[in-house]
């Protein structure tokens, strides 16, 4: 009882909510680049939070169902087809053994999440099924999905066919504003350089992946060239020698020696990860108190959004 991979797409990875508490042995978090879309996928399927799904980057994934179950796709505008018939995103669909499930290439955004009822049944590695390619752990042998891979899952014959109304779905654009929580190394960046950083637009370079997004724009200078390696948090914004900021994401290294101007608010780092190369990024400062409030407001909004059901 499984799904068979017919086409892999550009990059398709098994992910749960992430590998926490393993930095001490050098393992990074992994997990979904857009946790809001990932969480909605499981919520609509009535799965336990954090259940394993497939993160599809840019599209092109095709699966053959070998079991009767239910699926849901959330995230980027990546057209979904079941047996070549277009289906709605952000909605639960029944599939039968023999059905072909295909995701076209993304028209807006870049990351989608394909989940099944009760999740894909993958053996955890260091407490998580999240695939981190650099460390070769999680998923199936620590690798992206390959043609003919078998993704085990349960047979499910009953599920409420829930959906999220279009007006409540996120809209993915080619420009985002990333709020930045200042870090202690900000003092090594002059006021002029800070104003430059927060007033100019940056472009997502071709060098962007699950480790981090390297940006192109006005270079930022710092009065220290390097620091002793220290732990790196999710969203840390490094300023390397060339002055081009790097926003570190889920698969970042656990320690590093570049100075950091601050850290991206996690909500906005997820929006950043939906940008394709060429997308535009603006930065805006936010206080610790403001960041705390923003996270609570986002959680409240998520919990209060109504879910609809087909009759």
Q: Tell me the chain's radius of gyration from C-alpha atoms.
A: 20
- Residue 31, pLDDT score: 97
- Residue 226, pLDDT score: 66
Q: Which regions of the chain are under pLDDT 50?
A: none
Tokens read off for 290: 């403001």
- Residue 126, pLDDT score: 95
This prediction has a pTM of: 0.95
- Residue 9, pLDDT score: 96
Which residues of the chain form CATH 2.40.100.10? 175-302
- Residue 184, pLDDT score: 86
Q: Which of 109, 103, 94 is nearest to 162 (CA)?
A: 94
- Residue 257, pLDDT score: 82
Superfamily of domain 175-302: Cyclophilin-like (2.40.100.10)
Helix axis angle for 35-44 and 288-304, nearest 10°, is 20
Tokens read off for 183: 């870090």
Q: Measure the CA–CA gap between 293 and 132, rounded to whole angstroms.
A: 31
- Measured CA distances, 147 to 3, 22, 96, 123, 144 (Å): 11, 31, 20, 20, 10
* Whether the Cβ atoms of residue 254 and residue 23 lie closer than 8 Å to each other: yes
- Residue 240, pLDDT score: 92
- Residue 228, pLDDT score: 76
């Amino acid at each position: 009882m499984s799904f068979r991979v017919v086409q892999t797409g550009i990059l398709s990875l098994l992910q749960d909510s992430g590998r926490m508490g393993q930095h001490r042995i050098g393992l990074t978090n992994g997990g979904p680049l857009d946790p809001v879309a990932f969480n909605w996928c499981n919520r609509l399927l009535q799965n336990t939070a954090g259940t394993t799904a497939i993160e599809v980057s840019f599209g092109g994934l095709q699966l053959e169902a070998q079991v009767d179950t239910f699926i849901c796709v959330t995230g980027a505008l990546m057209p979904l087809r079941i047996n070549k018939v277009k289906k709605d995103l952000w909605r639960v669909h029944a599939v039968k053994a023999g059905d072909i499930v295909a995701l076209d290439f993304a028209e807006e955004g870049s990351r989608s999440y394909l989940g099944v009822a009760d999740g894909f049944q993958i053996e955890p590695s260091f407490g998580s099924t999240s695939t981190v390619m650099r460390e070769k752990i999680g998923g199936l042998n620590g690798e992206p999905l390959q043609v003919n891979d078998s993704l085990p899952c349960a047979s499910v014959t009953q599920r409420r066919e829930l959906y999220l109304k279009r007006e409540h779905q996120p809209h993915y654009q080619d420009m985002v504003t990333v709020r930045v929580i200042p870090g202690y190394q900000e003092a090594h960046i002059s006021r002029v350089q800070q104003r430059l950083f927060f007033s100019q637009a940056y472009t997502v370079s071709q060098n962007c992946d699950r480790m981090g997004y390297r940006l192109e724009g006005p270079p930022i200078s710092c009065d220290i060239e390097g620091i002793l390696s220290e732990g790196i948090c999710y969203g840390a914004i490094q300023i390397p020698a060339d002055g081009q900021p790097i926003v570190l994401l889920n698969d970042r290294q656990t320690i590093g020696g570049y100075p950091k101007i601050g850290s991206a608010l996690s909500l906005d780092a997820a929006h950043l990860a939906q940008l394709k190369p060429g997308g535009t990024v603006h930065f805006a400062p936010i206080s610790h108190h403001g960041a705390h409030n923003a996270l609570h407001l986002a959680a409240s909004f998520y919990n209060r959004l109504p879910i609809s059901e087909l009759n």
